[in-house]
Amino acid sequence: MNPSITPKQFPFAKPTTQTDESEFPVGTSLTFKCSPGYFESTFSITCLENLVWSSAEDTCRRKSCGAPPVPFNGMVHINTDTQFGSTVNYSCNEGYRLVGSPSAACHLSGNTVTWDKETPICKKIFCPSPPSIPNGNHPRTSQGDVPYGEEVTYMCEPRSARGMTFNLVGESTIRCTSDGEGNGIWSGPAPYCELAGPAGQYPLPYNVLISVVTAVFACEHGFVIKVRHTELPAEPLNRWVLDVPCCAKCRLPAHMNGIRKDVEMRKVYHHGDNVTFECEEGYTLKGSPQSQCQADNTWDPPLAICFIKKLTDPWVIFAMHSMTLFYCLGIFFGTIFFLLPIIVAGWIIVKHKQG
């Protein structure tokens, strides 16, 4: 009788009896038991006359995790089914973002099966407050987050009484949308208001001739130009359109407690200059000992501060205790030196009277 080859291993079942045999005669039957995650059952396969094993297909039925909960304002996408080994995906409706795991799998938990991830939630998307524009506005008066899908329309402010009109440049309406990660963003940049007329000129009275002169400003090395005022004046006509800019620089605070007096410090620092701080005895430096003057008049990192050392410092505690001890000893010996002559004089008087 011709032997048959060893049956293949099943991912859904294991043999009830282990054997080291590699060949089996025709008619041999082997018994298998369904694995965890499948309904408990046993089945047999038989070595047939054509030297193949009988089929074990559909002999073990997978357990089901049941329909997963649907997130509010979201959906569940079942890839195949909800049985052991299957997966599902989650998504949110437009205007909402997914918080949690985007997928879950039906897996074994003890003797039963369950979804391995909690149901995610769908949170509404918000955009930050729409940006404001000079010489223009939008109808939204309240500050705060703007819900997804809401639109904001800009318009320029009429200033006919001051002899100025403005044109809106760019898209007048922007919409709250989202990026690929579910963060709220505006559909585009806010527009801006441009002074009407060629090259932003003022409307001029009839028969008036104007000569336009342009002044160019530049700062010395170490300074950064900074415009103090940008609103266009309405009158008179013989004025500069913009105020004269100033050249920015960094300064140190007027009072800096605890800083060593011998440390070299200037009143004015230019862009790129560094300043180094050291504290006097009894003070502790909080922050970086060195800062650099930036182009926007700020120090980076921020200027350090000298704080009085706390009593938790061991040397400070030792010094305080030593001072207290010397003070007490001084009082003690001072009292003795004060009372000793009185006691001696009294003793002499008593002895004199007795004699």
Task: Provide the pLDDT for residue 105.
Answer: 96
Q: Which of 308, 299, 254, 258 is nearest to 278 (CA)?
A: 258
Angle, CA of 223, 229 and 231, to the nearest 5°: 150
Task: Provide the pLDDT for residue 247.
Answer: 58
Cα separation, 313 vs 310, whole angstroms: 6
Task: Provide the pLDDT for residue 171.
Answer: 92
Cα separation, 108 vs 104, whole angstroms: 13
Cα separation, 137 vs 158, whole angstroms: 11
- How do 305-308 and 283-286 pair as beta strands? antiparallel
Task: Provide the pLDDT for residue 237.
Answer: 44
Q: What is the DSSP letter of 160?
A: G
Task: Provide the pLDDT for residue 49.
Answer: 83
Strand spans (E) along 81-188: 87-92, 96-99, 103-109, 112-115, 121-124, 126-127, 136-137, 146-147, 151-153, 155-156, 166-169, 173-178, 184-186
Average pLDDT for runs of 10 along the chain of length 355: 66 82 83 89 86 84 92 94 94 94 93 92 92 86 82 84 79 92 90 71 43 52 50 44 57 75 73 81 82 82 80 62 78 82 82 72
Task: Provide the pLDDT for residue 68.
Answer: 93
Q: Which of 118, 122, 62, 69 is nearest to 91 (CA)?
A: 122
In what helix (H) or strand (E) does residue 352 lie, and over which residues does it extend?
A: helix 314-354
Rounded to the nearest 5°, which phi and psi values hold at 45? -120, 150
Quick one: 97 exposed, middle or buried, by C-beta within 10 A (0-12, 13-18, 19+)?
buried
By the 8 A CB rule, do 163 and 234 touch?
Answer: yes
In what helix (H) or strand (E) does residue 329 lie, and over which residues does it extend?
A: helix 314-354
Cα separation, 323 vs 317, whole angstroms: 10
Cα separation, 309 vs 316, whole angstroms: 8
Cα separation, 188 vs 169, whole angstroms: 13
Q: Which two tokens stand for residue 48?
A: 């047939």
Strand partners, 15: 32
* Full-model pTM: 0.48
